[in-house]
Amino acid sequence: MEKAKKIGILTGKFLICLVLGSVLTSIMYYLFFSKNTVTIISLIYMILIFFIFAFKNSKKIEKNGYMLGLKQGLLFILILFLFNLIIYHNFKTSNLCYYLILLASSVIGSILGINKNQQ
């Protein structure tokens, strides 16, 4: 039960960051920047979100950081994948590359978080 509560809180925080990122990128797109610039900024934002969440959560464990990063990254990617299917009703191969980059960011964040914790 405690584990389910932690996953729910983590997912809720991720959804808040996802909505915030969507609002900010929409504002940037309509007011200031070109579509390509907003796409790059959005990618960097998502990489940082995956990295930061994994980094912070891995400070609580002592080993197997890559597994935590994989689990957490896959959970977040599943959420993004479902949103993609609901909104766009399709899946592109470019999305797979995007998801792999985010997964790598999550794994790297969790590995660095454990190393920071051990020092």
Token pair for 117:
């914790």
Mean pLDDT over residues 5-34, rounded?
Answer: 77
Of 112, 36, 99, the residue nearest 69 (C-alpha)? 112
CA distances from 26 to 30, 39, 56, 81 (A): 6, 10, 28, 20
* H or E stretch at 29: helix 2-31
Q: Which residue has the tokens 């935590």?
A: 68
Q: State the average pLDDT over residues 84-98.
A: 80
Q: Please state, in angstroms and as integers, the Cα–Cα distance from residue 3 to each residue in 6, 20, 39, 48, following that order.
A: 5, 26, 35, 24
- Write out the residue range of the structural domain in which residue 53 sits: 2-118
Number of domains in the chain: 1
Residue 57's pLDDT is 80
**54, 72 in Cβ contact below 8 A?**
yes
Residue-averaged pLDDT of the chain = 80
Residue 18 above 80 pLDDT? Answer: no
Closest CA to 75 of 22, 8, 1: 8
